[in-house]
Structure 1
Amino acid sequence: MNGIHTQAPERTCGPSSTIGTHAMLVFGTGVDCYFSNLPKFSAPHNFQVILSIELDERGKRALGADRRTGYDGLHTFVPDAFAMSELDPRRERPRETLRGTLFRGHVHRGGEAVVGDVAAEIRQVVYFEELGQGARRAHERLTHLCFGRPGRLYLAHRICRRPSFDQVVAIRLIPGTVTDMLGEHDPDRTTDVDQLGFGAAQSIILGQREFTGQRLRAGEIAVAAFRSTEDGLGFLAELAVQRQIYLEVADLG
């Protein structure tokens, strides 16, 4: 497993204090399947964690069967009880596998168990942060997390302090909109947004929104400020929200 985190918690969480049945959103397909922990501000669920995973054949067949029958709702996964701290990529040997039950729908909102004893291999820790650790205001300006492979990118709302909300959307970066951080088009810049992908989540700031609310909506266009790339330079680019995958407000109020 290649574990990378983008925002280190301010203190190390003890394993015994983080044991629980940590329900997770399931989204993406094939080579870009993800788990996103369904967080609360109360322990032991006070973590925002995104994992790139690969389901075993039982899990893949169950998801595939649902989609072939026209189900387009969400899926959740409930692992057997474990310590969330075992996913911390700073550990010498982070956890590499989760085993549990796949649900059709939200497990806490009447979801239906589809198949049990499903194994998920953790390919990469995309993001790991313990909530409620007094995040600095400079970090709170980083409003979203961008991750995924070229042509299939996602945004997750970065959760800092209550009240907040958990949202995951599918996006695309719009070709021809890349500028430097001052908004100037650079003819020498070779960044092609169609080829950009992020294994580890990139913390970004969204600006110039077309509405005044906080939550993203399908069809909305926004400007994203990316702090760094392979050439070490930040850039601005427009992105389009394609669809909402998940939204939860009540658990983070």
Structure 2
Amino acid sequence: MKTALLALLLAGSAHAADATYGEHGMALFGGKEGLYASHLPMFHAPHDYQVVLQVHVADPVTDAALRRRLDGKTALWTIAPEKFELSRLAPQAPSPLKHFKADLVLGHFEQGGKTQYAASTIVVDKVLMFRKLSPETGANGTATYMQIGSGKQRYLIKQIDSRPDYDHILAYRAAPGASTESITLIKQALREPTPAEFATALHIRCDAIKGTIYFYTDDLR
């Protein structure tokens, strides 16, 4: 009994010592070509990191059903996970996070979203981005978007590099062999760029821009 209590106390102390320990909600997007999760960041601990993951659901039936429901759509889905240390997703982390339990929610899990798949095991396949955010106020005249995916279905995620700033995930259809390099747009305060601006930067038709999956400013003021 004493040994078990001591183990719990030690585990609690370890969590408390890591400033990134918490419930790290994420936007969930993708489809048949890949599933992705983007941490919903803020400019304060434990959420002051921009992290993007490639993932899958451990249960193959749930994974397949989820990919069908997400594929080709821009409806917002989010992940409400168990608490963990975000630092475990960093490159060269001594104890890398391989999987975690989470509810998969249609809509925003803190804004009236409805759980569709409860207590699912999310497997981390690859960490695509891991960046610590600076709390300092600063402006940037451009907005850089990282491309996610290499097939026909692509996504763009804005690199958060100003304060205030906005978190933005957008879906588009790419031509065969299209570049996977990041793109840069002129930034106008916290205004969401138009589909035409993305089409110009990507050298594609405007109707290939499928739309915004997630755009939010309140947490990045």
Post-superposition CA distance 1:97-118 (Å, at most 9, x none)? 1221111110111112222221
User: 1:234 maps to which residue?
Assistant: none
Report the TM-score, using the length of structure 2 for normalisation. Answer: 0.76
User: 2:218 maps to which residue?
Assistant: 250
Listed as ranges, the gaps of 5+ residues in structure 2 are: 1-15
User: 2:203 maps to which residue?
Assistant: 238
Report if the CA contact (8 A) 1:170-1:242 is conserved. Answer: yes
Report the TM-score, using the length of structure 1 for normalisation. Answer: 0.67
User: 2:63 maps to which residue?
Assistant: 60
Paired letter, 1:158: Q
Pair 203,243 (structure 1): closer, same or farther in 2 beyond 3 Å: same
Report the number of matched residues: 201
Using the alignment, how far apart are the partners of 1:135 and 1:32 within structure 2? 35
Pair 166,53 (structure 1): closer, same or farther in 2 beyond 3 Å: same
User: 1:8 maps to which residue?
Assistant: none
| CA RMSD after TM alignment | 3.3
User: 2:160 maps to which residue?
Assistant: 159
Between stretches 56-65 and 26-35, larger displacement belongs to 56-65
Q: What percent of counterpart residues are identical?
A: 27
Using the alignment, how far apart are the partners of 1:89 and 1:129 within structure 2? 10
Paired letter, 1:63: L
Are residues 1:217 and 2:190 paired?
A: no
User: 1:101 maps to which residue?
Assistant: 103
User: 1:126 maps to which residue?
Assistant: 128
Instruction: State the shift of 1:221 in Å.
Output: 4.3
Post-superposition CA distance 1:176-211 (Å, at most 9, x none)? xxxxxxxxxxxxxxxxxx22465xxx544235x9x9
Paired letter, 1:216: P
User: 2:82 maps to which residue?
Assistant: 80
Give the helix-richer structure, 1 or 2: 2
Three-state SS of the structure 2 residue aligned to 1:251 is helix
Report if the CA contact (8 A) 2:56-2:125 is conserved. Answer: yes
User: 2:20 maps to which residue?
Assistant: 18
Listed as ranges, the gaps of 5+ residues in structure 1 are: 1-13, 175-193, 225-236
Paired letter, 2:47: H
Pair 88,20 (structure 1): closer, same or farther in 2 beyond 3 Å: same
Paired letter, 2:44: S
Three-state SS of the structure 2 residue aligned to 1:143 is strand
